[in-house]
Structure 1
Amino acid sequence: MTSGPAATSGPAAPAPPRVLTVAGSDSGGGAGIQADLKTMLALGVHGMSVVTAVTAQNSTGVHGAWELPEAAVRAQYRAVVDDIGVQAVKTGMLASATLVETVAELLATTAAPAVVDPVGVSKHGDALLAATALDAVRTRLLPAATVVTPNLDEVAQLTGLTVENEDGMRRAAGAILAYGPRWALVKGGHLAAHGGRAADLLTDGTEEHWLRAPRYGNRHTHGTGCTLASALACGLAQGLTVPDAARAAKAYVTGAIAAGFALGAGIGPVDHGWRTRA
C-alpha cells in the first residue's frame, strides 16, 4: 500500500516568456540581477541570468566589486540562449570595455529585443563602469540595443549633455539615438521640476511618448533603474510594442517606488512585490 498523493500524467504546462538579464550581482538584493529576477517573477515571465560581476553591496553603498572573466560571461550566455532560448534580453552592469564588447557581440547574434540599461554608477555614487569602457558602450553596445534607458547622470556620462528641462531631455534623446539604438527612454526622475511629476521621454526620433507619474518623497529607491529596464524587457517578451511595454514598466516601477521600504542604515530598495501586497 502506498501513501501520498497519486501521480498524475499529462502534458507539461507551456513555458512562460523567457527573459535573460546580463548584469552584476547585488548582495543586498535591491538592484542588479536580484532586482531583475524579482521583477521578472512579479510580471509573469521566466527570468534567467548571466552574472557579469559580483559586488559586496548593502544599503550604504558598494564595498567591493569583482568582474567575471569574459569566458565565464560568454559561457553563461551561450548555455542559456542555445538551449532555452529568450524572448528578450536586458543588460545592466558590464564593468569593463572587454565585457561591454563581449556582450554587444552576443546581442548581435540573438534574434530578440535588447533593453540596455547603461549602468555607470550606483544609487550611492559608486562607479560600476570603467571610464575606459564608455567608448565601447557608445560604439558597440548602444547600436545593438532595441531600447536604451539612461538616467540623466548616464546621459551626461555618454553624451556630455547636462539636462535641466524637458527640451534638454529631447536633445539628450537625440544624442543617444545618434549612437544607433532603435529607441531611447530618457529618465527624468532626477529633475526637480515638473510640479511633483516624474517625467520620462521615449522616442525613436519620429514618435515621442511622454511617460508621467506621481513623484513620491520616499527615499528608498535602490534598484529603480534595473527594475524599470527589466519590466520593459518583460513587456517586450510578452509581445507588447515598445511604447506599450514602456508604459507598463513605468506603472510597475512607480508602484514599486511608492512601496519602497527601509532596509539597513542607508537607502532601502523599491518593493518588487508591491502588487501582491496592494
Structure 2
Amino acid sequence: MSRHLYSLLSIAGFDSGNGAGVETDIKVFDLLGFHGVGAITAITSQNTTGVKKIYPLTGEQLREQIRTIFEDFEVIGVKTGMVYNSEQVKVIKDELRDKNLPIVVDPVIFAKDGTSLIDEPKSFIELIKGAFAITPNADEATILIKGRKEEVKNQRELCTDLLNKYDNNYVVLKGGHIPGDKSKDVLCWKEGITEFYLPRRLSKDTHGTGSVFASALLAYYLKVGNMIEAVSKAKLLVYEGISHGINAGRGIGPIDPSVQLRKEAMKFKVMEDMRRFSHFINQYNNNFYHLIPEVQSNLAHSIEPELVDDLNDIATFEGRIIKEWNGNVRVGFPSVFGYPTHTARLLLGLIKRGVKCDSLINVRFDERYVKALMDNGYRVIEIDREKEPTWGEGKTMEWIAELSYRENATVAFDRGMKGKEAMIRIWSYGIYDIIKALKVLLD
C-alpha cells in the first residue's frame, strides 16, 4: 500500500535564482514530509545580486492555479509570500475563504536588495488581517504598525501590537534584523508570549530566510500541533541553513534548508561505520589488545567535515574501546553523538581548522608504531607535553590540533609527562582509511 501525503500550498513569486519564493517553499514542504504545491503570483528576474524585473500574473491566472490545485490535492495548509497587488489579494481571499485552513502569511514587502515586492502595500494588509499566523521581520513589523521602518525598542510590545491590530492567532516577530550577539524571535498569541534565542550567524548567504522560516513553521505546526515547538524547530532549520549556506553566486547567496535532513542521514551512516569498525576490531582481537593504552582507546567519527558544527556532529563509543584481563578487546557500545571525549574534541579542533578528516583514534605509544607509520607515508608530528601552555585542563586537544594543523600532520604522538600517559593519535578521512592506518600497526 502506497503512503498518502497531505499537500501544503505556497502562494508566492517565482525566484529565478532559486533562493526564495514558491520553489523554496515547495522544497521545505517536501523535506518535512508533505507534498509541496505552488501557485505563482509573479515571475521575477533575479539572482544573488538583486531583483532585476518583476512580471506579475493576472488575478485570473492566479485563480486558475489555486482552483486546479484544490480540485486534485488534499491541501491542509497554506503559506503566502510575495503577493503583488490588490487583485491577487482579492483572489486569494476569495479562494481560501471557505477552506478553513491555517494560513501562514510571510509579509514580504522588500527583497534583500531593498526592491519593493508589493505594488499596493495597503491592499496587502487585507491578506494579513485574521491570518492564522504572520511572520514579519523587524522592518516589516514597524511598517505594518507605523507605516515606516523604525528601530525596534521593545520586541515583545511590538509583537503584541501586531497581534491585536491584525487579529491573528499567532505572530512571530523575527529578530534577524535587530542588532545583537543573539537572534531573538518573539512568539505571541492571545494567551501568552515567549522568546527564542540562538547565536547570531555571520554569513553572506542569508537569501530565503523568511521563506524557509514561514514554510517550515507551517509544516512543523501541522506535524506537532504546538506552535512553540514549531517556532523552535523552524528557527533551528533556518539557523543551520545559514550556517551552511549554498555559496552560489557573487551576491547574497541562498541558505540551505536541507542541511538538517542531510545531517540526519549522515549520522545514520556514521553509526553504521562505527559498527563496521567494531567488526574490524573483532577480526584482529588478539593483536588489537596491544594497541590500547592504559586510559583505553576511543574512535571519534563525524558526519561530513564541512557540515560539522560542534560535538553533537561527532560520535564516539560511550564505553570506549577496552582491553580486558584475558587479552580480549571489548567495544563499549552504544555509539553516541555529543560525548566530550579527548578524541572527539581533537577531531573537532582539526575540522574547525579546515583539516579534511572525519575519523580519529588514540593508541598506545610505541617507538615501533611511530616508525611504521612514518615508513608508510604518514605525516607525523611529535608533541612535547612539557611545552604545553599553563592554561589548565580542557584545552590540551585544541593545542594539539593547532600544532598538528600547522605541520599538516596526520599523526601526532607524545612521550607523556608526569600524570599523563604517552599517546599516539591518528586521523584520516573515511573509516576505511583509519582502518588502513591501524593495519600498518597490526600486520
TM exceeds 0.5? yes
Aligned with 1:103 (options 92, 104, 107)? 92
**Structure 2 residues not aligned, in runs of 5+:** 264-306, 308-443
The 5-angstrom pairing of residues 74-93 of structure 1 reads: 74-93=63-82
Aligned with 2:104: secondary structure? strand
Q: CA RMSD in A?
A: 1.5
Aligned twin of 1:7: none
Aligned with 1:266 (options 246, 251, 263)? 251
1:239 Cα offset (Å): 4.4
Instruction: After superposition, give the CA deviation of every residue in 1:35-83 in whole Å (9 maximum; x if it has no partner).
Output: 1112112212110000010000100000100110101111111111232
Q: Distance in 2 between matches of 1:213 and 1:16?
A: 32
Aligned twin of 1:135: 122
Aligned with 2:91: secondary structure? helix
Aligned with 1:263: secondary structure? coil
Q: Does residue 212 of the first structure (1) align with residue 197 of the second (2)?
A: yes
1:181 Cα offset (Å): 1.4
**Structure 1 residues not aligned, in runs of 5+:** 1-10
Q: Distance in 1 between matches of 2:224 and 2:60?
A: 32
Q: Does residue 172 of the first structure (1) align with residue 161 of the second (2)?
A: no
Q: Does residue 181 of the first structure (1) align with residue 168 of the second (2)?
A: yes
C-alpha contact 1:24 1:32 (8 A) present in aligned 2: yes
1:211 Cα offset (Å): 1.4
Aligned twin of 2:438: none
Q: Distance in 1 between matches of 2:92 and 2:61?
A: 12
Aligned with 2:112 (options 104, 123, 143)? 123
Q: Does residue 149 of the first structure (1) align with residue 135 of the second (2)?
A: yes
C-alpha contact 1:32 1:92 (8 A) present in aligned 2: yes
Q: Does residue 237 of the first structure (1) align with residue 222 of the second (2)?
A: yes
Aligned twin of 1:43: 32
Q: Distance in 1 between matches of 2:60 and 2:141?
A: 30
TM-score by length of 2: 0.57
C-alpha contact 1:90 1:233 (8 A) present in aligned 2: yes
Instruction: After superposition, give the CA deviation of every residue in 1:219-276 in whole Å (9 maximum; x if it has no partner).
Output: 2100000000000111133242222211111111111111113221111000122121
Q: Distance in 1 between matches of 2:192 and 2:145?
A: 21
Q: Distance in 1 between matches of 2:76 and 2:91?
A: 20
1:135 Cα offset (Å): 2.3
Q: Distance in 2 between matches of 1:108 and 1:247?
A: 29
Decide whether aligned partners of structure 1 residues 105 and 18 sit closer, same or farther in structure 2, where only a CA change above 3 A counts: same
C-alpha contact 2:138 2:152 (8 A) present in aligned 1: no
Instruction: After superposition, give the CA deviation of every residue in 1:108-130 in whole Å (9 maximum; x if it has no partner).
Output: 22222110001001111111012
Aligned with 1:220: secondary structure? coil
Aligned with 1:23 (options 3, 9, 12)? 12
Question: Kindly, what percent of the aligned residue pairs are identical?
Answer: 33
Aligned with 2:129: secondary structure? helix
Q: Distance in 2 between matches of 1:62 and 1:95?
A: 14
Aligned twin of 1:14: 3
Q: Does residue 224 of the first structure (1) align with residue 212 of the second (2)?
A: no
1:93 Cα offset (Å): 0.2
Worse-superposed segment, 37-46 or 113-122: 37-46
Aligned twin of 1:3: none
Q: Distance in 1 between matches of 2:198 and 2:248?
A: 25
Q: Distance in 1 between matches of 2:179 and 2:30?
A: 32
Q: Distance in 2 between matches of 1:240 and 1:37?
A: 20
Decide whether aligned partners of structure 1 residues 180 and 105 sit closer, same or farther in structure 2, where only a CA change above 3 A counts: farther
| Number of positions where the alignment pairs a residue of Structure 1 with one of Structure 2 | 260
C-alpha contact 1:163 1:172 (8 A) present in aligned 2: no
Q: Distance in 2 between matches of 1:163 and 1:176?
A: 16
Structure 1 or 2, whichever has the larger Rg, is 2
C-alpha contact 1:114 1:144 (8 A) present in aligned 2: no
1:14 Cα offset (Å): 2.3
Instruction: After superposition, give the CA deviation of every residue in 1:107-163 in whole Å (9 maximum; x if it has no partner).
Output: 322222110001001111111012xx322232x212241100001111122111724
Q: Distance in 1 between matches of 2:211 and 2:34?
A: 16
1:214 Cα offset (Å): 1.5
Worse-superposed segment, 231-240 or 209-218: 231-240
Instruction: After superposition, give the CA deviation of every residue in 1:193-224 in whole Å (9 maximum; x if it has no partner).
Output: 2xx21001010132112111121111210000
